[in-house]
Amino acid sequence: MEVIKRDGTLEKFDKEKIVKAVIKAFKECGYDVGELILKQINRIVEYALMDCPKENLDVETIQNAVEKSLMHFQYYDIAKAYIIYRQRRKDIREAAQKKIRFIEKFKKSDNTANATIDDNANVSNHNIAVLNSEIHKEDNAEVNLRMWELKLKELYPDFDYKLLVKDANSICYLHDLSSQIGMPYCVAITLYPFYLNGIKEIGGLSVAPKNIDSFCGMFINLVFAIASQFKGAVSIPSTFIGMDWYLRKEWGDKYYEKLELSASSEYTNRKQTIHKQIHQYFQQICYSLMQPSGSRGNQAVFWNVSIFDKPFFDAMYSDFYYPDSTKAQWESINWLQKDFLHWLNQERLKCILTFPVVSACLIYQNGKFLDEDLYNYLCEEYSQGNSFFTYISDSADSLSSCCRLSSKINKPQFNFTNGQLSEMTGSKNVITLNINRIVQDFVNSIKDQFILHREVLKDNLPLPKNPNTLSFEEISLYKEQIIKLFPKYLISILERIYKYHTAYNEILKDLYNANLLTVYKAGFIDMKKQYLTIGINGLNQAAEFLGIQCNNNSSYKEFCNIIFNTIKEQNALHKTKELMFNTEFTPCESAAIKLYNRDKKDGYYVPKDTNLYASYIYKPNDEDISVLDKLYLHGKDFCGDMLDGGSAAHINLDSHLTKEQYKHLIKYAAEVGCKYFTFNIPNCECEECHYIAKQPFDKCPKCSSTNTSLWDRIIGYLTKISNWSNGRQIEQKTRVYTKAEDIDG
- Residue-wise pLDDT for 518-560, tens only, equals 999 999 999 999 999 999 999 999 999 999 999 999 999 999 9
Residue 424: pLDDT band with limits 50, 70, 90:
confident
Please give the pLDDT value at position 706.
Answer: 97
Q: At what angle do helices 15-28 and 35-50 cross, to 10 degrees?
A: 130
pLDDT digits (tens, 9 = 90+) for 617-629: 999 999 999 999 9
Listed residue (574, 579, 576, 493) closest to 536, CA to CA = 493
Residue 493: pLDDT band with limits 50, 70, 90:
very high
Does residue 387 carry a pLDDT above 80? yes
Query: What's the whole-model pTM score?
Result: 0.88
Please give the pLDDT value at position 11.
Answer: 85
How far is 49 from 166, CA to CA, in rounded Å?
A: 47
pLDDT digits (tens, 9 = 90+) for 679-707: 999 999 999 999 999 999 999 999 999 99
Helix residue spans in 199-321 (DSSP H): 212-227, 239-251, 274-289, 310-317
Q: Which of 8-12, 108-112, 167-171, 484-488 has the lowest mean pLDDT?
A: 108-112
Listed residue (315, 433, 434) closest to 365, CA to CA = 315
Does residue 207 carry a pLDDT above 80? yes
Does residue 55 carry a pLDDT above 50? yes
- Average pLDDT over every residue of 231-254: 95
Does residue 123 carry a pLDDT above 70? no
Please give the pLDDT value at position 447.
Answer: 58
Consecutive H or E run containing 35: helix 35-50
- Average pLDDT over every residue of 583-606: 94
How far is 695 from 683, CA to CA, in rounded Å?
A: 5
Going by the DSSP 8-state scheme, the letter that residue 727 receives in this structure is H
Does residue 18 carry a pLDDT above 70? yes
More reliable by pLDDT, 196 or 28: 196
pLDDT digits (tens, 9 = 90+) for 72-110: 888 888 888 888 888 888 888 888 888 888 888 888 887
Please give the pLDDT value at position 450.
Answer: 66
Please give the pLDDT value at position 412.
Answer: 46
Please give the pLDDT value at position 413.
Answer: 42
Residue 408: pLDDT band with limits 50, 70, 90:
low
Does residue 43 carry a pLDDT above 50? yes
3 state SS of 657: coil
- CB-based contact 152:162 (threshold 8 Å): no
Q: Which of 47-51, 326-330, 512-516, 711-715 has the lowest mean pLDDT?
A: 47-51
Residue type, 353: L
Does residue 421 carry a pLDDT above 50? no
Residue type, 197: N
Q: Which of 2-6, 134-138, 460-464, 583-587 has the highest mean pLDDT?
A: 583-587
How far is 344 from 340, CA to CA, in rounded Å?
A: 6
Mean pLDDT, the chain, as a whole number? 89
What are φ and ψ of residue 528, in 5° steps? -70, -15
Does residue 454 carry a pLDDT above 90? no
Burial class (CB in 10 A: 0-12, 13-18, 19+), 378: buried
Peptide bond into 311 cis (omega under 30): no
Contacts of 163 (CB under 8 A, 6+ apart): 496
More reliable by pLDDT, 235 or 206: 235
How far is 595 from 234, CA to CA, in rounded Å?
A: 27
Does residue 242 carry a pLDDT above 90? yes
- Average pLDDT over every residue of 35-46: 83
Please give the pLDDT value at position 458.
Answer: 79
How far is 537 from 571, CA to CA, in rounded Å?
A: 18
pLDDT digits (tens, 9 = 90+) for 258-297: 999 998 888 888 889 999 999 999 999 999 999 887 666 6
Residue 404: pLDDT band with limits 50, 70, 90:
very low
Percent of the chain with pLDDT over 70: 93
Please give the pLDDT value at position 414.
Answer: 38
Does residue 119 carry a pLDDT above 70? no
Please give the pLDDT value at position 420.
Answer: 39
